[in-house]
Amino acid sequence: MKKLVDSFKFAFQGILYSFNTQRNIRIHFFIAIIVLILGIYVRLSHIEWILLLLTISIVVTSEMINTSIEKTIDLVTEEYKILAKIGKDVAAGAVLISSILSVIIGVLIFYNKIF
Ligand SMILES: Nc1ncnc2c1ncn2[C@@H]1O[C@H](COP(=O)(O)OP(=O)(O)OP(=O)(O)O)[C@@H](O)[C@H]1O
């Protein structure tokens, strides 16, 4: 039981660290809250809520994995290494793809509700 509580505690420490140190994650959380409030306001359907929550979780998760990869690479080397660059750039690319697609999904969900 203590092991389970500890693993939750460490996971929350990871969430707090990401939130406190990564500006992009704070921006994503802020946008997610706005979108969730808007979702209540326009009365999204069951399936629209599922898609919206999935989209938010993919964006936040990709940001946090990106942070984790950046920190791990910084731990391994502080020198300029092409593999370090590839590792960080690919992780950043994943964040960019999920962010762009989340905007498209947001527009698809909300456009008809608002206009
Ligand atoms: N050790 C390294 N070797 C080669 N290129 C690196 C290295 N560290 C960083 N880079 C390059 O610099 C870019 C920015 O890296 P950095 O670690 O500053 O992350 P960041 O995108 O600024 O994120 P954050 O501001 O959240 O730390 C990387 O995407 C990569 O192209």
Active site residues: 63
- Which pLDDT tens digit goes with each residue over 42-97? 999 999 999 999 999 999 999 999 999 999 999 999 999 999 999 999 999 999 99
Q: How far is the CA of 38 from the centre of ligand 1 (A)?
A: 35
Annotated binding residue 48:
no
- Tell the residue nearest (CA) to atom 1 of ligand 1: 80
| Ligand 1 neighbourhood includes 71 CB (under 6 angstroms) | no
Query: What pTM value is reported for the model?
Result: 0.91
Q: In this model, does residue 112 exceed pLDDT 90?
A: no
Q: 89: Cβ below 6 Å to ligand 1?
A: yes
CATH number at residue 21: 1.10.287.3610
Print the domain residue range for 89. Answer: 2-114
Domain count, the chain: 1
- Asked if 109 and 44 touch (Cβ cutoff 8 Å), the reply is yes
- The ipTM (two decimal places) reads 0.91
Per-residue model confidence (pLDDT) at position 2: 84
pLDDT for res 115: 84
Cα(77)–Cα(70) distance, integer angstroms: 11
- In tens, the pLDDT along 23-39 reads 999 999 999 999 999 99
Question: Is the Cβ atom of 48 under 6 angstroms away from ligand 1?
Answer: no
Token pair belonging to 34: 């706005």
pLDDT at 1 over 90: no
Q: What is residue 26's predicted lDDT score, i.e. its pLDDT? A: 97
